[in-house]
Chain A
Amino acid sequence: MKRIENLCFRLKCHAEFISASPWLKILKQVQDYRLVLILIFTFLIFNLDPRPTRAQEMTSENFKIQGGNFNMTSGSKSSTNFNLSDVVGETAAGVFASKGFLIQSGFLNVSAGETFTFTVTPALLDFGQLIANNPIERELHIGISTGNVAGYKIGVSENHPLSSQTGAEIPDTTCDPADGGASKKQPQPCTYSIASKWMASTTYGFGYRMTGRTVSSNFSASNLFRPYAATSRNEDPALIMQSTQTKVTDSAVMSVKVNIDQHQPVGIYTNNLRFTASVGI
């Protein structure tokens, strides 16, 4: 209390403030609020901002450890006609890590040590209660990171169209129908590999569109949709994203749309969307 009063005196506070302030009541217990602020700030910086540890290249005046492999013998040899990379003596290949060490051992594999990551968010698309002629769109975020491997491909398929336990189905969209020749450019029905316009609220079904840097050129406009390829119809997954470049981190958004008519039987409709990601072969 005395220290608080001293502190307050230095800060020219009033005596009544000391006794009335709820803040200072707390400070009475912890003695010095400046110390509290410093502690909170330091705690936040050191505990909530852990950066990844970065390894250093091992070099000295005489040596530079540069080998891609750690074996009995390994390295790259070349002559005018040949390039040879050899590894002798290791039984198990892979990247073995322990505290302070990282060993890439075994036969030479250019992709060893690289990580391929694929993310889809969220893990469930909930369309809620469907209302006739009221299209619902939900978004899926897709992310991919390849490491030092050339390219990737992502495909998608559904197990079957949205169906209820009684066997009723919400059909996969075929997109907006032709308008009977009113416009010069007749819309084509969309398929799992060809996108087409789906704007009318009287067009029913289930389909998707994509936006992103590496998505299929099929989705050049915002209202171009495709139905999903269905494994129940023996259709192969449709390609939605691809790249041929190395060290890429890409993302895309898939907008999934469902629209039903007034004759659609009431029920809980479900299906499964499966995304397949692979390095570029």
Chain B
Amino acid sequence: MENQKSKIKSQNYNNKYKLITFVSFFLTFNFALLTFNLRHATAQSLSLSISPPLLEVFIKPGKSITQKYKLTNNGEPTLISLKLAELNEYGINLENSSSDKWISIIDSDIVFNLPFALENGQAKEFVLKIQPSSQLKEQDYYRALVFSTESSYSGQTTASTISQNLVSPVLITLTSTGQVNKAAKISRFEIPRFLDSFGPLKVNIFIENIGNIYFRPNGDISLEGPLAKGNFKIEPNIVLPETLKILKTASSLDMENTLNLPGIYLGKYNLKVGFTLDEGNIRIDQTRTFYALPWKAGLFLLFLYIFVLILRKLRKRKK
């Protein structure tokens, strides 16, 4: 009898042991699999990478340079075609592909406007050669390499296929002397003369490229006053010739303002913008002063005071 009891006991123990072993094994395996095996989702996606994303060239007519590019497909296998397009401040115009013979691809099986296949995870390298002839007009040439995926659909339901264009701009300055007309001006400096103390301070600064070569503003905007101080680095965004562009800083909370600073302000403030064109010695500075007063709260108090005064007078008259 006792033997039977101990047998049942040990059977129960064994069942428990089996269960614990199974559960711990199951949990260990799944934990390890799900925790250490986090791969990027690649199924059913279009994902292209290009390096370098931007090429800036300063070149003499008659000379040549080469740049190596690497295109990687991280998405599903796709057909890609490479086009050379003209570029302006509004973007690229794919309908009018550039026909510049002095920009070519060497050391690669890639040819402009001919599609090639790229498998998942595959990368393709090619060398871009820029060789402007000595007869070519000395000016800026803005072009873009456009990698376009192609798509097709043969399903039996309503669907939209997805394609992508990956654009890598090529900005070429053609000059034989190195002397270029780089110039800019602050054409609009929008700042309130009187700001309510409870803010926010919204500032818009527009710069205009009045030269004939593109540049990047390189500098900062500083704010000085009794209650607030700050320094904001200007984002070095390219400004093409004959274009007007709003300066942007990291504090441009939305895409509409140069500065958008909530906070409490009181007294006299100076806002100074200063930047050079690229890393050169052409510097542009401008300072504006504004006053912060609690005029909204002041007006409210004034109206309240007048209201109370009128109320008192009316009461006195009644008495």
Contact = CB atoms under 8 A, between A and B. Distances in A.
Given A83-B280, A92-B127, A125-B159, A114 B52 contact: yes
B191 to A, nearest CB: 20
A238 B169 CA distance: 19
Interface size class of A (residues with CB under 8 A): 35 or more
A116 B17 contact: no
Contact of B52 (A17, A111, A214): A111
B52 to A, nearest CB: 4
Interface stretch (B36-44, B260-268, B302-310): B36-44
Interface in B219-251: 235-238, 240, 248, 250
A104 B98 CA distance: 29
Interface in B148-190: 148, 151, 153, 155-169
B281 interface: yes
Contact of A281 (B75, B87, B164): B87
Given A162-B160, A242-B255, A13 B14 contact: yes
A111 B162 contact: no
A20 to B, nearest CB: 8
Interface in B120-154: 127, 142, 144, 148, 151, 153
B9 to A, nearest CB: 9
Given A114-B53, A150-B216, A268-B157, A123 B13 contact: no
B252 interface: yes
A61 interface: no
Given A112-B52, A115-B49, A270-B153, A278 B92 contact: yes
B300 interface: no
Chain A interface, >50% SS class: mixed
B158 A162 contact: yes
Interface of B: 7, 10-11, 13-14, 17-18, 21-22, 25, 28-29, 32-33, 36-37, 41, 44-57, 65-70, 72, 74-76, 78, 87, 89-92, 127, 142, 144, 148, 151, 153, 155-169, 216, 235-238, 240, 248, 250, 252, 254-256, 279-281
Interface of A: 11, 13-14, 16-17, 21, 23, 37, 40-41, 44-45, 48-49, 81-83, 91-96, 106-107, 109-130, 140, 143, 146-147, 149-151, 153, 155, 158, 162, 170, 214, 217, 236-237, 242-246, 256, 258, 268-281
